[in-house]
Structure 1
């Protein structure tokens, strides 16, 4: 019999709030985390995009000084989210050999890497910090979380662009079912609001250009959408078998069905416009639930607010759900948080879990004129989900053609 996996803890630090609770509250209130960047490096580098969705609460306000000095911002965010999730799960009393970490990032320690390069060029090799490599490596966040909770069942890292942390959640479910651990902290983090990524994303015309109106720049499905808003932060989910959770009297937020990973093999940045591989990931996820597509009551869409990406995802959804798609409520929460890249899937998975737990679907802000080519039932104000068992999916698609879809069900 397949083990049932459940969510028992949630944590986050996002552009909407320094905790999961604050982020969820702000999301339901229709707030935006996008603001104008005040750092001097914006003007110094003559960046064409002057806004982003920065973490609402700086990591330095939460962590000890020694932690901020020895950890890249991507690891700092990971530690904050994981600690909240672990406490939210009741600080499980589990043998270290039965605790695991499945973490993700899309870019890793970009601040550490580029700061060290500047130091090398300007001040010489003796001034490069000895902790530079441990801080910049993509598995740094997983290592930081693993050491913090004493996880000895494995500390794994996924790097699959914007599909990364959804894939980490899928991996965690598979590892729990295989018996590798009793409890796993899964999630993802990103801290890439840096001049180089901003300049690069801008050069490929991926970012919104609305410098004068950051709060309304991310507008999924709108006819005037012109790109995504770069975000930062982290989210963590504590996963365990239902049997283990019940035995220790843990609160259960939702069941994790698991998920599926596919690839487009189409283009390094553009999604396959037909959406066939993305559709297959959705179908395989729904099949894992043992239910039909009619059971899906909610979709948290990838919905980056790019002209090409939103329509490609719609085509994939249409392949899966046909005409029924137009009656399934869809939330596009990047409109509020910005795009957390490798951390996006984790925060959106957490929002999906909370939507099921509170039976309230979060809104999509900034949608004023919906694209007629994307006739979805978009949730634009908090909407009740209703009683009974419900199935929901959360989509993540990344550069390189990576597709990851996770499924969740009310407990």
Structure 2
């Protein structure tokens, strides 16, 4: 019999707030972290906007020593360490002492899309092909996909399963489900899960090249037409990290832990890049199957879903996503659940998007609110033909939520959906 699994700690490094309290306040008030970057203009990017967390030197020193920071140039690893350690502290857990055994019951699944690209570029720029051995002693740890997991494991002293995953935009939601299964099967007591994404032009340049980013609002970063809007014309690239501590319900209750929500289950699949799916476009049938499989795994009826945190990227695929949700749940019009997208405030945080959005979902479930959809005053007509505009709130809405869904759909035609319930 599977163990019940709950979330007892949260951490976030977001373009509109670093830390749970600032982030919660920002999403309630529709505060955007999107801004203009002159560097992108100078590099002739079509989209000269981005969304990047602002972290002071004082904040960095609260997590890392001066020696670590001196050699610490990978923004993604920094974001992941801050979010992961904040989640660990939020769950009121203690680090294993250096002269004692590791924390055998603590595992980590912390994913990324790419790691340390700018660090690697910097190292390569300084050498030629005849001096490859001069890449530097830090290049491996800062460019391996498991870099964040490894750093966090060393800080915490985690002694269970420590790994990393990478599934594009679905990474954070996939990491949560991987950790959930490990605890549900009784293989760990605690799992620290999440995902991160580096900042900057070497990460964002490829998306600019394939023309999926927004180029119409370079002079008005606070007015970028958001997900589900009629004028949505591409996403703004973002970065950051989100993290969560998972543990068995029995253990959480026994130690008197704060419980944010229960994870009821979920599903992962791929469309195989068939039936309209490709490297960059989703297979709608696969998305619908993923949602329905998540409901089945969670033993939840579609009618029980109160709210959806959508993947919704402010591209031409938004109406398709709404249609897929409607078909998968067999709900439309006024019967459709409330739905919103965080990307209007923080951009598309790529591999970190799922984890940051999960944190926003759990806060809404736990505190009883739905954050506003930003810059979405005129809804796309294909969307309003499917669901009632009342389900897409432009203002903060106070409401009681019980059962919610979060899905992420990534490049490579990969899908992840998780179902949560308030306890």
Q: 2:405 aligns with which of 365, 382, 393?
A: 393
Aligned length, in residue pairs = 403
Residues in 2 aligned to 1:150 and 1:252: alpha-carbon distance in whole angstroms? 23
Distance 1:264 1:126, change over 3 A: closer
1:91-106, aligned counterparts within 5 Å? 91-92=93-94, 96-106=103-113
Task: State TM-score, norm by structure 2.
Answer: 0.90
> Is 1:10–1:350's contact at 8 Å kept on the other side of the alignment?
yes
> Is 2:369–2:397's contact at 8 Å kept on the other side of the alignment?
yes
**Pairwise CA distance, 1:46:** 2.5
**Pairwise CA distance, 1:54:** 0.8
Q: Deviations over 1:331-387 (max 9, x none)?
A: 11111111111111111111111111001111110102100101242122111222x
**Pairwise CA distance, 1:87:** 0.8
Q: Which 5+ residue runs of structure 1 have no aligned equivalent?
A: none
Residues in 1 aligned to 2:392 and 2:307: alpha-carbon distance in whole angstroms? 10
1:227-246, aligned counterparts within 5 Å? 227-246=234-253
Residues in 2 aligned to 1:262 and 1:152: alpha-carbon distance in whole angstroms? 29
Residues in 1 aligned to 2:166 and 2:380: alpha-carbon distance in whole angstroms? 32
> Is 2:2–2:185's contact at 8 Å kept on the other side of the alignment?
no
Residue 88 (structure 1) aligns with: 90
Distance 1:141 1:60, change over 3 A: farther
Residue 27 (structure 1) aligns with: 27
The answer to whether 1:288 aligns with 2:302 is no
Q: Which 5+ residue runs of structure 2 have no aligned equivalent?
A: 97-101
Residue 268 (structure 1) aligns with: 279
**Pairwise CA distance, 1:118:** 1.7
Distance 1:204 1:182, change over 3 A: same
The answer to whether 1:323 aligns with 2:331 is yes
Task: State TM-score, norm by structure 1.
Answer: 0.93
> Is 1:60–1:68's contact at 8 Å kept on the other side of the alignment?
no
Residue 199 (structure 1) aligns with: 205
What SS does the aligned partner of 1:97 have? coil
Distance 1:100 1:324, change over 3 A: same
Distance 1:59 1:368, change over 3 A: farther
**Pairwise CA distance, 1:106:** 1.5
Residues in 2 aligned to 1:143 and 1:284: alpha-carbon distance in whole angstroms? 32
> Is 1:32–1:216's contact at 8 Å kept on the other side of the alignment?
no
Q: Deviations over 1:235-293 (max 9, x none)?
A: 11000000011111101011011211011112111122xx1111111111112222210
Residue 382 (structure 1) aligns with: 396
- The worse-fitting range, judged by mean Cα deviation, of 107-116 and 75-84 is 107-116
The answer to whether 1:76 aligns with 2:86 is no
The answer to whether 1:299 aligns with 2:301 is no
1:170-249, aligned counterparts within 5 Å? 170-194=177-201, 196-209=202-215, 210-217=217-224, 219-249=226-256
Residue 99 (structure 2) aligns with: none
> Is 2:191–2:247's contact at 8 Å kept on the other side of the alignment?
yes
Distance 1:383 1:315, change over 3 A: same
What SS does the aligned partner of 2:164 have? strand
Residues in 1 aligned to 2:377 and 2:321: alpha-carbon distance in whole angstroms? 20
What SS does the aligned partner of 1:212 have? coil
Residue 55 (structure 1) aligns with: 53
> Is 1:110–1:192's contact at 8 Å kept on the other side of the alignment?
no
Question: What is the CA RMSD across the aligned residues, in angstroms?
Answer: 2.0
Residues in 2 aligned to 1:350 and 1:270: alpha-carbon distance in whole angstroms? 26
